[in-house]
């Protein structure tokens, strides 16, 4: 099963992608997590990506597409994957479609997690993330067992640099101008499904499993 998660920053794509990956036994591939791991490790890619991410801008397509096309050809992705945060622009979507055609494969579902902008800033300011293992929490809606500590690996949780309200607004603007057109793109490919992302975490997941089949 090859799945793309679409939706605004903070819509809950990552939260649901992790649940899908666990339920269906496929890898969760998040370009945001890949960039953050590179930033943490001080790689050249990480240094380049950071300058864009800190401003709420997209990392250039040429740094992103090959990375994902390579990742989806790894052995663990043979039976499928859930892409989170990619594609994010029409050129990225075209690059993915072209690469999949060459591999004789295609996307089965593009799931749009629909949340209005008015809910987003609140969600982002309450989000806490683990830089070590990528787990995410919310101080109210999905709190860790011990405040400030990751349940999964015991690392300290942080507020992401790009979750400050002024950067969130920029990311929302970028989403509407560059990523939202993908909803039309995948509607035309006949694979778009929408879920109401304002419901609680488990209700959103129930909508998704209804689409994917339990």
Q: Residue written as tokens 């269906």?
A: 24
Report how far residue 38's alpha carbon sits from residue 32's, in angstroms, rounded to the nearest whole number: 10
Cα distances (Å, whole numbers) of residue 122 to 9, 41, 127, 141, 201 = 12, 30, 9, 11, 15
Report how far residue 3's alpha carbon sits from residue 101's, in angstroms, rounded to the nearest whole number: 15
164 is catalytic: no
Q: Say which of 2, 36, 50, 88 is annotated catalytic.
A: 88
Q: Which helix (H) or strand (E) holds 196?
A: strand 192-196
- What does DSSP assign to residue 132? T
Q: Which of 4, 21, 53, 208 binds ligand AP5 (CB under 6 A)?
A: 53
160 is catalytic: yes
> Could you say whether residue 2 binds ligand AP5 (CB under 6 A)?
no
> Could you say whether residue 11 binds ligand AP5 (CB under 6 A)?
yes
Report how far residue 159's alpha carbon sits from residue 167's, in angstroms, rounded to the nearest whole number: 13
Tokens of 32: 């945001």
Question: Could you say which residues in the range 101-120 bind ligand AP5, by CB under 6 A?
Answer: none
Report how far residue 150's alpha carbon sits from residue 170's, in angstroms, rounded to the nearest whole number: 28
Report how far residue 97's alpha carbon sits from residue 85's, in angstroms, rounded to the nearest whole number: 16
Binding mask 179-198 for ligand AP5 (x = CB under 6 A): ------------------x-
> Could you say whether residue 12 binds ligand AP5 (CB under 6 A)?
yes
CB 121 within 8 A of CB 165: yes
Q: Which stretch binds ligand AP5 (CB under 6 A): 52-60, 103-111, 149-157, 181-189?
A: 52-60
Q: Which residue, 35 or 81, has its beta carbon nearer to ligand AP5? A: 35
> Could you say whether residue 38 binds ligand AP5 (CB under 6 A)?
no
Q: Which helix (H) or strand (E) holds 98?
A: helix 90-103
Q: Which stretch binds ligand AP5 (CB under 6 A): 98-106, 132-140, 148-156, 182-190?
A: 132-140
Q: Which residue, 26 or 208, has its beta carbon nearer to ligand AP5? A: 208
Report how far residue 8's alpha carbon sits from residue 94's, in angstroms, rounded to the nearest whole number: 20
13 is catalytic: yes
Q: Hey, which residues are catalytic here? A: 13, 88, 127, 160, 171
* Residues in touch with ligand AP5 (CB under 6 A): 7, 9-15, 31-32, 35, 52-53, 56-59, 64, 85-86, 88, 92, 123, 126-127, 136-138, 141-142, 162, 171, 197, 199-201, 204
């Amino acid at each position: 099963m090859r799945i793309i998660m679409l939706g605004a920053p903070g819509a809950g794509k990552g939260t649901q992608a992790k649940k899908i990956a666990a339920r269906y036994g496929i890898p969760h591939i998040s370009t945001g997590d890949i960039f953050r791991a590179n930033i943490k490790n001080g790689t050249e890619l990480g240094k380049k990506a950071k300058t864009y991410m800190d401003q709420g801008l997209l990392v250039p397509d040429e740094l992103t597409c090959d990375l994902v096309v390579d990742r989806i050809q790894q052995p663990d992705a043979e039976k499928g994957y859930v892409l989170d945060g990619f594609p994010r622009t029409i050129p990225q979507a075209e690059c993915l479609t072209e690469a999949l055609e060459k591999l004789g494969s295609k996307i089965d579902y593009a799931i749009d997690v629909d949340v209005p902008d008015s809910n987003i800033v609140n969600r982002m300011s309450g989000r806490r993330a683990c830089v070590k293992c990528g787990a995410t929490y919310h101080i109210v809606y999905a709190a860790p067992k011990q405040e400030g500590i990751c349940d999964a690996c015991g690392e300290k949780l942080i507020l992401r640099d790009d979750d400050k309200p002024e950067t969130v607004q920029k990311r929302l603007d970028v989403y509407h101008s560059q990523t939202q057109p993908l909803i039309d793109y995948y509607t035309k490919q006949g694979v778009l499904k929408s879920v109401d992302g304002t419901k609680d975490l488990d209700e959103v997941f129930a909508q998704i499993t209804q689409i994917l089949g339990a």
